[in-house]
């Protein structure tokens, strides 16, 4: 019986992922208005009624799609950190560079983010997801900053560390938007170098080569 239950869970997870993927594709192509229940079902090759089996409302599905997008971007930015466990400064540096480099800066990701953000002020589910994913990224950045400062023989209080993480997150967001919106205006080293230079000044900690 256990293998059958495992197979069923895998099938359900695949269908749920297909619905999320279809929703993201439709939003990327035509904005949130294009992601109707009928269009999502057609893109995922399921019946509209099946969507209710996985999501109580279409808004819940759109929020899950936004969560998938933002979580995926954070995972892409942290993909190599496990390889740098003994070097806190290198871990912070790698996180910064990855956050303003492909695949994080792919135009499609920024377009999806921009389309989803218009829903955040008026949709409670979207606001909860955006808050959670924002804080997850910011907290990861704060932890990396704290580790790098500690390795350099410096300590910082909670309020200062929070301020560094907020300012650093805003810096990365701004460069990310520019890189994804007009990629032809930057070389592959422009934005990483700018980000590292700005973080070095913010933290008073050399991060550049």
CA 131 and chain centroid, separation: 12
pLDDT per residue over 155-169, tens digit each? 889 999 999 999 999
- Name the pTM for this structure: 0.87
Confidence of residue 10 (pLDDT cuts 50, 70, 90): very low
pLDDT per residue over 38-47, tens digit each? 999 999 998 8
* CATH class in words for 1-55: mainly alpha
- Out of 3.40.50.150, 2.60.40.1730, 3.30.70.260, 1.10.357.10, the CATH code matching 62-203 is 1.10.357.10
Domain segments of the chain as ranges: 1-55, 62-203
């Amino acid at each position: 019986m256990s293998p059958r239950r495992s197979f069923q869970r895998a099938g359900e997870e695949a269908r749920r992922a297909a619905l999320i993927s279809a929703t993201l594709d439709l939003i990327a192509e035509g904005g949130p208005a294009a992601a109707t229940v009928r269009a999502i079902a057609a893109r995922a090759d399921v019946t509209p009624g099946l969507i209710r089996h996985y999501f109580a409302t279409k808004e819940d599905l759109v929020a899950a799609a936004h969560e998938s997008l933002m979580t995926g971007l954070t995972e892409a930015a942290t993909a190599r950190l496990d390889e740098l466990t003994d070097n806190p400064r290198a871990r912070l540096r790698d996180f910064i560079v990855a956050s303003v480099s492909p695949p994080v800066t792919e135009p499609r990701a920024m377009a999806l983010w921009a389309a989803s953000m218009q829903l955040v002020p008026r949709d409670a589910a979207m606001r909860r997801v955006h808050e959670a994913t924002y804080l997850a990224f910011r907290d990861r950045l704060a932890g990396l900053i704290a580790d790098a400062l500690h390795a350099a023989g410096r300590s910082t209080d909670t309020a200062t560390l929070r301020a560094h993480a907020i300012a650093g997150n805003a810096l990365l967001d701004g460069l990310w938007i520019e890189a994804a919106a007009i990629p032809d205006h930057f070389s592959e080293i422009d934005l990483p170098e700018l980000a590292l230079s700005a973080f070095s000044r913010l933290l008073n900690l050399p991060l550049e080569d």
